[in-house]
Structure 1
């Protein structure tokens, strides 16, 4: 499955309306915010579509998966939107991540826990709030709102240390930039180590660079550990490969079209996260050129003056230039 899919779930008194654009969507929030009610309504419709007051409108079939037979239930579902309510412990397991990785469904998971086995985006974590859009005597309208953004800075960022989540090409690029400008650069060798590093290092000016497309499971605790600290900023682009393509270095109309609306190109059965998709596209579009890209080892062409500066300019108010002595 790919593309954006609008879902409307309603009764005469209650209505949910939202749009899904990736294969993994997380719904968080406190009790009594309507999360379980949404799943209950979908379950009622699926189990008894003609005998329930619930109406579900979507271009894809919706299902609820739950309980100890979740694997059997999933095996019979294809090209659908699957809802899973909190309390189903299987969502935290590697087994669950493995099972859904090669499916062509979209998944909407209600959970207050982080799910480190799943590569979900910081931009696809939502809460539910009730809107007054329909008035107090009419339908109660529930809407999704995004909980986390992709950066945590308002003013100019001038770090002393950059940390990246892994040691691949992105780290190699920023390590080179840091060496040129007298800054430190460290690889965390895994996104879960970002939190531990920030918890130990509280004096330096730190810029965290991580793949926003798969950092969703870490964002809450990272934001908690840096709360109130003015010396830490997060920069969470979709991925380093996305940064390269967004800088328009390739001058490629195919890439421009993809970046303008990625949902229409990312096939969920092939790419568990958008980070994997952008990596595949960059490798494909630069094959047999001087910009040929490899994930593990950075092509030195990306460190040349004009190309390097094009990438850095896309970071807006983040300043990595050499500091005056």
Structure 2
């Protein structure tokens, strides 16, 4: 399943109108924010159709799956948007994560729980904003995609320490950029270790820049946003992935992916890719496979990627971060 899908659900009392872009969308918010009402309306429509008093519009089937025989129902469903409400304990299970991977469906999960087994995007976490009877989806962390923190868009971030989620090629790249700036760079060795790394530095002077793969970091957002509020000197940079950054420079010879980068959802099949991070990795590997100098490996970067034109292009994309040498 590919593409973006607009969903309109309306009853006599309430209307929801939102668009989902990826295979995993999280709807969160306090009790009473409208999550369960939405899913109940979709459930009623699926059971009674127009007789339910619910209007539902979408270009693909929408259905609700609950705890009863959930494995079989997911396995037998294709080409649909599956809604699951919080309270279904299987949401946190490894089996559910396995079924999502390789599924030809999109999943909309209403939950306040952390789902570490699922690689969902920081930009696909929503809460509902209500105006009268109308509900639309508002990104929970809508500014995360670029920078998250108590900053203004006019102010450059001058990090005194850089921490990366990546421990391979991405870490190599940002370690070199940090070296040129004259600051330290550490790898957290995975997204689940970011918070621990930050908690070990409660009295760190200066700004800590944390760089993660936004396409799969969603499960950590609640914890890290609390850490940002508590410590006050942390800024999160969450592009789709390191590979997305490199592709976005448009500086790699013979790599022409601008059309894909403009609308990735039209190219990324949920059945093949559990997250966009994996897709961009494969895209970069495939696009450079015939060029020995630029052949990309997630384990180790070739010297070509440290060329000034690549480094400067990445700096331009990370426009709010000051990478000039600190004195």
Common topology (TM > 0.5): yes
Looking at structure 2, the residues matched to 141 and 232 of structure 1 have their Cα atoms a distance apart, in angstroms, of 36
The Cα of 1:81 is off from its aligned counterpart by: 0.2
- What TM-score, normalized by structure 2, do the two folds share? 0.93
The Cα of 1:12 is off from its aligned counterpart by: 2.8
Match of 2:170 in 1: 170
Looking at structure 1, the residues matched to 226 and 244 of structure 2 have their Cα atoms a distance apart, in angstroms, of 27
Match of 1:218 in 2: 220
- What TM-score, normalized by structure 1, do the two folds share? 0.94
Q: 1:269 aligns with which of 260, 268, 271?
A: 271
Looking at structure 2, the residues matched to 159 and 50 of structure 1 have their Cα atoms a distance apart, in angstroms, of 56
Q: Deviations over 1:202-236 (max 9, x none)?
A: 22331000011111110111110120544211111
Secondary structure of residue in 1 paired with 2:215: helix
Name stretches of at least 5 consecutive residues in structure 2 with no aligned partner: none
Aligned length: 317
Q: Give me the CA root mean square deviation.
A: 1.4
1:146 aligns with 2:148: no
Q: Does the 8 Å contact 1:198/1:226 carry over to 2? A: no
Match of 1:71 in 2: 71
The Cα of 1:243 is off from its aligned counterpart by: 0.6
Match of 2:323 in 1: 320
Looking at structure 1, the residues matched to 112 and 185 of structure 2 have their Cα atoms a distance apart, in angstroms, of 33
Moved more, 215-224 or 287-296: 287-296
Looking at structure 1, the residues matched to 139 and 39 of structure 2 have their Cα atoms a distance apart, in angstroms, of 19
Secondary structure of residue in 2 paired with 1:180: helix
Q: Write the mapping of 1:122-141 to structure 2, written as runs, cut at 5 A.
A: 122-132=122-132, 140-141=133-134
Secondary structure of residue in 2 paired with 1:222: helix
Match of 2:22 in 1: 22
Extract structure 1 runs of 4+ deviating beyond 3 A.
Answer: 251-254
Q: Does the 8 Å contact 2:174/2:185 carry over to 1? A: yes
The Cα of 1:70 is off from its aligned counterpart by: 0.8
Residues 97 and 323 of structure 1: CA distance in aligned 2, closer, same or farther (over 3 Å): same
The Cα of 1:317 is off from its aligned counterpart by: 1.9
Looking at structure 2, the residues matched to 106 and 251 of structure 1 have their Cα atoms a distance apart, in angstroms, of 35
The Cα of 1:310 is off from its aligned counterpart by: 1.5
